[in-house]
Amino acid sequence: MLVFGNIVIRVATLLFAALLPVFAPLDARAVTQPGTAVGRIAASILAIVVVLVLVGWGARRSKLGALVLGTTLLLDGVLAYTFVGENGPLARGTFYLTVPLWVGLGTVGFAIATPHLKSVKMKRAGNGSIVGAVIGVLMLLLAYPRLSNRGAMWTTVLENDPGNEIAASHVAKAQELGNRALAAKTWKTCAQNNPIACACVAGAMDASLVEMHPDEALRIFAASGTSCTDRADVSGLRAEALVLFGDVDAGAKVAAELLAKNPVEPHALYAQALALSNKGDTVGSKLAAKRAVDAGRGPPAQLLLASLLIAQNDLDGADALLKSLVAADPNNAFARYDQGLVADKRERYHDAREAYLAALQLDPKLVDARYNLALLTLRSGFKPEAQHHLEKLIEIAPNDPRIPALSALIAATPDKSN
């Protein structure tokens, strides 16, 4: 019985260490679904029951062995809970990444406890367990960099589960610091693969609106059904999309309903500012845009406020706002374009030209920047360059209604560049 009991304990330890990752995805899947904790509770209860049973069995056979094994199992349980939690790298379906960790711990525990068995045969086996301990340590060393490198971990998680809401949030937020287009792709891929992942829905809708595709943002919202309607940011983005899509009254209504619950909801404030601007209420729009900026809506609200300030000829205010925006995001083509407008109004040819060109470098299809460049260079006497910008404008927007008048104006203007 002694030998049998100790063998059972060790085998059970290894099995537990090996099978624990199987339960981990259940736990992680539970925490990624709003209002569901069944997986976490089930996995935790299972871990506790197994530990108690094995420690109780072992205490009757080998006290020291039971202590070592019980400690190992508890450590396994703690690590499992840590790594599969809401912010852990095991979020949904990537348990294979931590298999080296669990197997390593199980092997180390087995190697430490085996020499304390009373059986001569098992003592001999215990001598060989040193090899197991070495393997376990090596596997722990192998697992450590993979577990400690959270950036690479989240990327791997996302590659294996493109709809993983938690992983997408980590990856996209890191990408936004250097490559907004890549971050937008990450959000949209996540929303496409997991339409009820509300963080992905919000990120994808925001990315679509930045790209001026409100129809796409509305499709993403529609695909989520009623799963994300309780999230203020998603509803606020829907209000923005409705206004930008042309359904101003519907967007204003959604924004008003949100603001009744939360007067400082940034998306709703921005949607309200857009709606008021569409209706010609520049004073109300400016006030709402300012509140949206203060509430943290970011570049979209800042750009709207800057446009309103330019329209009111408050060039100093617009310039200061745009400088701060460009400092925070040098790759914002619309901010560069607005800087060109400010310089153009101040009759600073060089600054205006550079700003328009910078905007076009960031977004070659920015039609207004190309149109304004044609006018700016023509006014300054550079007819060949104006003609060049007209040709580029025709390439990117052949149906722009301003083209015939601009073409006639260039043709009628004498060339003063020579």
pLDDT of res. 328 = 87
Residue 226 lies in a domain: no
In a domain, 348, yes or no: no
In a domain, 323, yes or no: no
* Residue 236 near residue 263, CB atoms below 8 Å: no
Residue 220 located in a structural domain = no
pLDDT in tens, 217-237: 999 999 998 889 889 999 999
Domain total of the chain: 1
Checking if the pLDDT of 262 tops 50, the result is yes
CA 233: distance to chain centroid? 14
Cβ atoms within 10 Å of 249's Cβ, excluding its own = 12
Distance CA 10, CA 81 (A): 22
Q: Is residue 72 part of a domain?
A: yes
**Residues 6 or more apart whose Cβ sits within 8 Å of residue 159:** none
For the chain, give the mean pLDDT: 76
Q: For the residues 327-353, what does the mean pLDDT come to?
A: 93
Whole-angstrom distance, CA of residue 362 vs CA of residue 376: 19
Alpha helix positions (H), 279-402: 282-295, 299-311, 315-328, 333-345, 349-362, 367-379, 383-396
Domain that holds residue 20: 2-159
Does the residue 372 lie in any domain?
no
Q: Is residue 205 part of a domain?
A: no
What does the pLDDT look like over 353-395, one tens digit per residue?
A: 999 999 999 999 999 999 999 999 999 989 999 999 999 999 9
What percent of the chain lies above the pLDDT cut of 90? 49
In a domain, 118, yes or no: yes
Are 176 and 183 in contact, with CB atoms under 8 Å apart? Answer: yes
Question: Is 16 within 8 Å of 101 (Cβ atoms)?
Answer: no
pTM (2 d.p.): 0.64
Is residue 34 pLDDT above 50, yes or no?
no
